[in-house]
Amino acid sequence: MVDTKRARAFGPSLPLRARRSVVVLSEPLIARRFAVVAALLATTTALALPDAVAPPASVSLLSELSFERTSLPNGMRVVTSVDRSASTLAACLVLPVGSRDEPPGALGMATLEQQVALEGVRGDDVSDQVRQHRGQESSAVGVEATSYCVDLPSGELELAIRLLAARLNAPPPTPDSFTRLSLRVQEQASHALADDASRAGAVRLQKLAYEGCAPYENEPVASAQAIDSAAAARARDFYVQHHVPRGAAVVVVGNFDPDAAVYLARARFGSTSPQSTGPRDTSESAPALPHRTSERYSSLERPEVQTAELLFGWVAPLHDMRERAAFDLAAAVLALGQGSRLDRLLVDKRPWASEVQARTERLYGPELLLLRVLAKNRADPVEISKLVEAELFRFANAGPSAEELRRARAELTDDWRRRLSSNVARARQLGQFEAVWGTAEALKQRIAAYASITPTEVRDVVRAYLRPWQKTHVAVQPKTALTQVTAAPPKRYHVVRPNENLTRIAKLYGVGVSELSAMNETGRDGAIHPGQKLELPRSARVPKPPRSHTIKKGDSLLGIAKHFGVSVADIVQANGLRRNKPIQPGQKLAIPPSSAPAAR
């Protein structure tokens, strides 16, 4: 049986001490001993240096992530990454097609495409050949890419390329085959969501977060439930349109001859139909997101769930690789690994959660930052949501510290090591970047960018994309706890009255001026107008009933202001008074709220 969990070795290890049992040393051995001593001294010196001069962990990972790219005449690309220490090789065929490509009324087509890639059609013997050669095969479908991979012993390069070609060049299945596959996919999707409450919650969150952005709200597993027998004809058309070499990538990782891999790929994939030539235009995968002014909320009742699981998501239309890297770092600062902000806040300091996790989907189009909080028994989900929102507000104002950024870089590098640890995982990641982004070099560019991202850049992406009104919140809860969070808290608004400004309104509700301005996008000048409806933050307090004062003979603005604990300017502005026009007995004044107790 092939060891599919074998991890690639990252860098050489140094001996800890020289052997003492050798008395007579030959010259070559002496040279080697001096080399070891020199290496140990260099290592000791490096460990003694301050962190500021130590090379970032991502530099080491990038030096190990080596590969070569070759383009075929038909638009396909071949990516080879050699690891001589491996006993196996993984070959993957990655197509730039996923649930984003499903047109309205054809949901689940990408999942059927994946099943065809994995199972083929009746009569082929690909799966039998994989098993006979002590290998494994797998497939995966996502929002932007579909992959089919085989993991075989290192001497089976020719077989691996031949099996990939058999999957790509297979004729379209018959409608009967699609009907058979659709029933299986429907059953698998139903079981997947029924058995995994966390996955069901993530599916719900993705649909809400991308609502109005049709290509990306089509979740592969959830949409597969919509497949029925009538989908067979549509599935065959989808397969014919998308199961083509255009923009596809063949990736081989492990112990093999890279020149032989390119030669075999050229022979097997080079003679395809002219209509499939040219790389696919991936610009269509970045549609504009609809404008949002308030958060979205949903809840799921799952009887098998013991404690509440809270999912938060923010979608960001990122513009370039540096902004994407900053988005990754923001997620890592928030909740990636021990020592992250929310880990300290919700797990260490308060008994609210047993685990917090954050990740970015790392898509070509609008990216999703997903935050997962596993609440402890009797923890209040509403209070957890408030704490998360307050922490994000602090993050947007101050950004990360230098130490937080250093820790986040290390956590992200470790995360990428895990993602790239096996031959199949590395081949799939390289293939997705090659097929969807147009080049596998984009993967290295993203990792390399972490080292130079500044705290200001991280703060800017938080300010731009992780605001309360951009949040999507899904609560997966036990049946007995569902009453804790049954619906999104009702939104509260303030209708602007004459002579009011943002400062006065913020003071009235006990909120920050900048928070109120950002939530309603009033701009830098904070201009508002009478009759305008302003949405209030959740933290807004209930204002005291409006006060008034009827002027009596002998009253003055200064005396009235002192009595109610407000300033003269507040009264003048609240009532539109003119300083050169005296007040009159019987005149009724509106008294604005005060932050100090009334004078007696």
Q: Which residues pair with 590 in a beta bridge?
A: 548
Instruction: Average the pLDDT over each of 117-121, 265-269, 402-406, 547-551 and give the range with the smallest value.
Output: 117-121
Other Cβ atoms closer than 10 A to 193: 19
Report yes or no: 165 and 250 within 8 Å, Cβ to Cβ.
no
Angle at 349 between CA 344 and CA 353, to 5 degrees: 75
Task: Mention every residue, 6+ apart, whose C-beta is less than 8 A from residue 274.
Answer: none
Q: What is the pLDDT of residue 112?
A: 67
**Phi, psi dihedrals of residue 535, rounded to the nearest 5°:** -75, 140
Residue 9, pLDDT above cutoff 80: no
| Mean pLDDT across 584-593 | 82
Residue 579, pLDDT above cutoff 80: no
| Mean pLDDT across 327-337 | 94
**All domains of the chain in start order, with CATH:** 63-285 (3.30.830.10), 296-484 (3.30.830.10), 492-536 (3.10.350.10), 547-591 (3.10.350.10)
Other Cβ atoms closer than 10 A to 276: 15
Instruction: Average the pLDDT over each of 31-40, 63-72, 269-278, 580-589 and give the range with the smallest value.
Output: 31-40
How far apart, in whole angstroms, are the C-alpha atoms of residue 210 and residue 219? 10
What DSSP designation does 99 have?
G
- Written in H, E and C, the secondary structure of 303-316 is CCCCCCEEEEEEEE
Residue 337, pLDDT above cutoff 50: yes
**Residue 220: both structure tokens together:** 């592969």
* DSSP H helix total and E strand total for the chain: 22, 15
What DSSP designation does 278 have?
S
Residue 52, pLDDT above cutoff 50: no
Report yes or no: 8 and 87 within 8 Å, Cβ to Cβ.
no
| Mean pLDDT across 224-253 | 73
Q: What is the pLDDT of residue 245?
A: 81
| Mean pLDDT across 28-44 | 38
Q: What is the pLDDT of residue 272?
A: 57
Instruction: Average the pLDDT over each of 57-61, 67-71, 123-127, 487-491 and give the range with the smallest value.
Output: 487-491
**Residue 323: both structure tokens together:** 């902004």
Residue 34, pLDDT above cutoff 80: no
Other Cβ atoms closer than 10 A to 549: 15
Q: Taking Cα atoms as reference points, which of 143, 35, 166 lies closest to residue 91?
A: 166
Alpha helices in 243-367 (DSSP H): 258-269, 321-335, 341-342
Beta strands in 389-459 (DSSP E): none
**Residue 127: both structure tokens together:** 């799966």
How far apart, in whole angstroms, are the C-alpha atoms of residue 263 and residue 408? 42
**pLDDT tens, residue by residue, 447-465:** 999 999 999 999 999 999 9
How far apart, in whole angstroms, are the C-alpha atoms of residue 289 and residue 287? 6
How far apart, in whole angstroms, are the C-alpha atoms of residue 583 and residue 240? 82
Angle between helices 57-64 and 402-419 (to 10 degrees): 20
| Mean pLDDT across 52-67 | 67
| Mean pLDDT across 23-27 | 34
| Mean pLDDT across 385-398 | 91
Q: What is the pLDDT of residue 25?
A: 32
* SS3 state at 451: helix
Helix (H) or strand (E) holding 435: helix 423-436
Residue 347, pLDDT above cutoff 50: yes
Q: What is the pLDDT of residue 226?
A: 53
Q: What is the pLDDT of residue 220?
A: 59
How far apart, in whole angstroms, are the C-alpha atoms of residue 432 and residue 422? 15
Task: Mention every residue, 6+ apart, whose C-beta is less than 8 A from residue 331.
Answer: 358, 359, 360, 369, 371
| Mean pLDDT across 354-380 | 90
Residue with tokens 């997966």: 476
CA distances, 12 to each of 15, 60, 197 (Å): 10, 11, 42
The better pLDDT of the pair 303, 417 is held by: 417
CA 164, 170, 175, 176 dihedral sign is negative
406 pLDDT band (50/70/90 cuts)?
A: very high
499 pLDDT band (50/70/90 cuts)?
A: confident
Task: Mention every residue, 6+ apart, whose C-beta is less than 8 A from residue 85.
Answer: 8, 9, 255
| Mean pLDDT across 582-593 | 82
How far apart, in whole angstroms, are the C-alpha atoms of residue 143 and residue 159? 29
Instruction: Average the pLDDT over each of 165-169, 279-283, 455-459, 507-511 and give the range with the smallest value.
Output: 279-283
- The per-residue pLDDT of the chain, averaged, comes to 77
**Residue 64: both structure tokens together:** 């190990």
Instruction: Average the pLDDT over each of 144-158, 248-262, 287-301, 548-562 and give the range with the smallest value.
Output: 287-301
The better pLDDT of the pair 228, 210 is held by: 210
| Mean pLDDT across 131-149 | 86
CA 186, 189, 193, 194 dihedral sign is positive
**Residue 106: both structure tokens together:** 């054809």
| Distance separating the N- and C-terminal Cα atoms of the chain | 88
Other Cβ atoms closer than 10 A to 520: 20
Cβ neighbourhood burial of 287 (10 Å; 0-12, 13-18, 19+): middle
* SS3 state at 80: strand
Residue 253, pLDDT above cutoff 90: yes
494 pLDDT band (50/70/90 cuts)?
A: confident
The better pLDDT of the pair 499, 318 is held by: 318
Other Cβ atoms closer than 10 A to 256: 28
Percent of the chain's residues with pLDDT above 70: 73
19 pLDDT band (50/70/90 cuts)?
A: very low
Residue 20, pLDDT above cutoff 80: no
Please state the separation of Cα 324 from the chain's center in Å: 10
Residue with tokens 């067979």: 232
| Mean pLDDT across 475-488 | 61
Pairing of strands 146-153, 296-301: unpaired
**pLDDT tens, residue by residue, 283-329:** 444 567 777 778 888 888 877 777 889 999 999 998 889 999 999 99
The better pLDDT of the pair 473, 29 is held by: 473
219 pLDDT band (50/70/90 cuts)?
A: low
What DSSP designation does 553 have?
T
Residue type present at position 256: F
Q: What is the pLDDT of residue 508?
A: 81
Residue 143, pLDDT above cutoff 50: yes
**pLDDT tens, residue by residue, 527-573:** 888 778 788 887 777 776 667 888 888 888 888 888 887 888 778 87
